[in-house]
A and B are shown apart, each in its own frame.
Chain A
Amino acid sequence: MIVATVLGGYAGGYYSKRINAALLRTIIIAFNFIITALFFVKTYVVTAS
């Protein structure tokens, strides 16, 4: 996993300099809210039921 994060980190750093910043921000915001919602469901709905 450590080797994989190095490869991913290097590739991400390389390609992110070529991506539109506003688009990048929108994608990240959407992704964050989706994952946050999933964690709420997992912790307070799935586990509780």
Chain B
Amino acid sequence: MSVTAYLIVSDCETMDIGILLFLSGILAGAMNAVAGGGSFVSFPVLLSVGISPVTANASNTVALLPGSLAGAWQYREYAGNLQGISLTKMILLTLGGGGVGALLLLYTTASQFTKFIPWLLLVSSLTFAFGKQLGHYIRKTRQISRTTVMTGQFILGIYGGYFGGAVGIMMMAVWNIFGMTDIKQINANKNLLVAAANAVAAVLFSLPVKLPGMKQLY
């Protein structure tokens, strides 16, 4: 059993799996709507019920999609352009990146993915914690162009499609570096763009036809 899930429920085997998944879903959905990081709860719980890491990650992406959409609806009044770039452009970039990330996941082995997870989480945690200071430094030393913001968003989409976990946190951290500070607008756009990355990944994970070498997740 994963350490995190162990902290949530001390004896998973005696608890009904359905109830456990439902409760973790509520918590994860709420966390994602607030700021991100819902996968920090739901992903370990999926692992704890015996699902393989890559499939658990894909299932997590699919399960969290409606929650992201619900959060986006709640914040819809705050959603808007990012650093002069239209929200539509940002959504398209995220969809493209999400597709690339999902394809990468389908070619990753379970053992590779397991070793990769803590590092993905560490990068996102550090960026979220120190993104503001890093952003001040970067903006002092160089000009952040619209191309940089759009490239960054495409890379965030890849991250989101590959590993749904903490992508909301990553987006907020990177936008912080780009000089966005309105937490409510950041939250609104984050919910919408995370939903975009999750949606394209969910579609690719669910396709019945796979290319040679791709994993069959379900």
Question: Which residues in chain A, 1-45, are within 8 Å of chain B measured between CB atoms?
Answer: 1-17, 19, 21, 24-25, 28-29, 31-33, 35-36, 38-44
Is B15 interfacial (CB 8 A cutoff)? no
Interchain CB contact under 8 A, A9 and B2: no
Interchain CB contact under 8 A, A9 and B121: no
Interchain CB contact under 8 A, B28 and A28: no
Classify the interface of chain B: helix, strand, loop or mixed: helix
Interface size on B, residues (CB 8 A): 55
Interchain CB contact under 8 A, A33 and B129: yes
Query: What is the size category of the interface that chain A forms with chain B?
Result: 35 or more
Shortest beta-carbon distance from A31 to chain B in Å? 6
Contact with A along B20-45 (1 / 0, CB 8 A): 01111111111111111110101010
Is B64 interfacial (CB 8 A cutoff)? yes
List the one stretch of B88-96, B100-108, B111-119, B137-145 in contact with chain A: B111-119
List the one stretch of B66-74, B151-159, B203-211 in contact with chain A: B66-74
- Once bound together, how far apart are the Cα atoms of A4 and B27, in whole Å? 8
Interchain CB contact under 8 A, B33 and A8: yes
- Once bound together, how far apart are the Cα atoms of A5 and B33, in whole Å? 10
Interchain CB contact under 8 A, A12 and B169: no
Using Cβ atoms and an 8 Å threshold, which residues of chain B touch A14? Answer: 74
Sampled A-B contacts (19; CB under 8 Å): A3-B66, A5-B32, A5-B42, A7-B26, A8-B28, A8-B33, A10-B70, A10-B73, A14-B74, A15-B34, A17-B74, A24-B183, A28-B36, A32-B169, A35-B4, A36-B125, A38-B2, A43-B115, A43-B118
